[in-house]
Amino acid sequence: MKRTTTILIAICVSALFANGKQISQNAALSAARKYSRTGQVAPAKNLRSDKTNNAPYYAFNLEQGYVIVSGDDEMTELVGYAENGFFDAENVPPQMQLWLDGYAEYVAAVQSGKAKA
């Protein structure tokens, strides 16, 4: 009985410190569809972090605009969006790239347990 109680306590404590889990591109695509008026969504970019080999975010182009969805389920689902234009991974403005890089670092810190979402 004591051993069972100890195991249950260990499981509960480890669940408290569990980090978020990586969201697949398909799950991110489903999330992006919620923000599309037509449901038509095309993948624009996903970024693999050098530190974790996970995608901290996924960008999807819509018929009008784009949406950026978190790659970690512990973070807020919607990272950002635009109602017009499109997300071009090769021509991201420097200010936006700096913001996305900072977001990727924050996701890596959350995944490693160094920060809270």
- Note whether 26 and 43 are within 8 A (CB): no
- One CATH from 3.10.20.600, 3.30.70.1890, 3.90.70.50, 2.60.40.2550 for 20-111: 3.90.70.50
3-state SS class at 66: strand
The whole-model pTM stands at 0.74
**Which secondary structure element, helix H or strand E, spans residue 101, and what is its range?**
helix 94-111
**Which residues contact residue 108 at a Cβ distance below 8 angstroms, ignoring those fewer than 6 apart?**
49, 51, 52, 56
- Euclidean distance between CA atoms 28 and 25, whole angstroms: 5
- The candidate with the shortest Cα–Cα distance to 56, out of 86, 25, 26, 29, is 25
pLDDT values of the chain reduced to their tens digit, one per residue, 117 residues: 444 433 434 333 333 444 568 889 889 989 999 888 877 888 876 665 555 567 899 999 998 899 999 999 999 999 999 999 999 988 999 999 999 999 999 999 998 888 887
For the chain, the structural domain boundaries read: 20-111
